[in-house]
Structure 1
């Protein structure tokens, strides 16, 4: 049975684009964009928000029944008008897919802020350490060191166990991002990536946790077996 997937669109808006103010041309175009996707077969739900660090960048996450469902939409007659409408708002759009460990990834909708972290060029040891770091956060919350932590989702690999084990990798140690991707959507230097979506009460509360000794004693887990990383904060809205 096909696995559900989450499409991730990282959208760099043209300067001055207003998606939130009702009645503006750009807000109307954005509303139509969201509506078009919501009508597609295999669509489940979506969430979007601006990066708090760079509000000109929007992250749009779309839950699909399967990767094939999204691909069917991309091959349909309605896709080109949809893409043209989106392009009118943007300078750049980067797309990829990942498979959340919990589906639907409800923490994305329920947490006030998501720490949206992407780790590039990852090795199997990194995925092992991700699981360990999740335990660290749960322990920190139990001890009262990370009261602002609300939960997280990362992912499990879309690809088949047989094909990956033929390449010498255990299927339970694979990263959640389906396509090989590079930092900033670059076409060169692509590799396996891991996505973490960690819920916090606020960006400030997350940054305060990063200053604790508990965090400093354990962050090395996320620095082994990884080439580079990007971390942003997004307050997602459910469509």
Structure 2
């Protein structure tokens, strides 16, 4: 099963998503990654709350396959070209339980930091309340998965794990309505297992 790559970039001022150099850079990166991954498509999105934040979502046959690319000359060339344009703030892998709803008009991106020792409890709770969320997303899927990366011993010492959740919405307002609903009161049971969480929204970025 392919593994998801999730990355967050921040554009350096005065660059914006509409800057021609940014479009060229990200377009080249998208093509290079798709080719290097063996044809897995990569998608770029801009965060609605902060448009200079760019998400990259794609997949690889394995973490090892991605790591091999990271050490390659192709990747070093991309990093050199990007040096003055953007910074890579986050990049990791996740094993997803469903396809990310990238066709939705708005993609919800949720990063959930689970308390140490509460992974199984969170999984059980989320499995129980997932339907409350899914009943609001309509035709769009709810896809979640645990962050998986090397350095597991260090993570175990620090405690806690990250659950990445993607939800599809017709609009940000639709997602906000879920937050005001009776169903959300039940869904909010997951907070018992969390040290913190962040939920943002993104739209497809056309290069």
TM-score using structure 2 length: 0.85
Q: 1:80-99 to 2 correspondence within 5 Å?
A: 80-99=76-95
Distance in 1, Cα, partners of 2:69 & 2:149: 18
1:112 lines up with 2:105 in the alignment: yes
What displacement does 1:25 show? 2.2
1:52 lines up with 2:42 in the alignment: no
What displacement does 1:135 show? 2.0
Give the alignment's Cα RMSD to 1 decimal.
2.4
Distance in 1, Cα, partners of 2:206 & 2:121: 34
What displacement does 1:149 show? 6.4
Pick the structure with more strand per residue: 2
Distance in 2, Cα, partners of 1:180 & 1:117: 22
What displacement does 1:115 show? 1.2
Distance in 1, Cα, partners of 2:159 & 2:10: 20
1:32 lines up with 2:28 in the alignment: yes
Q: How many residues align?
A: 199
Distance in 2, Cα, partners of 1:214 & 1:41: 40
Distance in 2, Cα, partners of 1:136 & 1:7: 27
Corresponding residue for residue 154 of structure 2: none
Structure 2 unpaired stretches of 5+: 152-157
Distance in 2, Cα, partners of 1:51 & 1:39: 25
- Is contact 1:119–1:195 with CA below 8 Å preserved after alignment? yes
Corresponding residue for residue 154 of structure 1: 144
Structure 1 unpaired stretches of 5+: 156-175, 182-188
- SS in structure 1 opposite 2:141? strand
Q: 1:120-199 to 2 correspondence within 5 Å?
A: 120-122=113-115, 123=118, 124-138=120-134, 141=135, 146=136, 148=138, 150-155=140-145, 176-179=146-149, 191-199=160-168
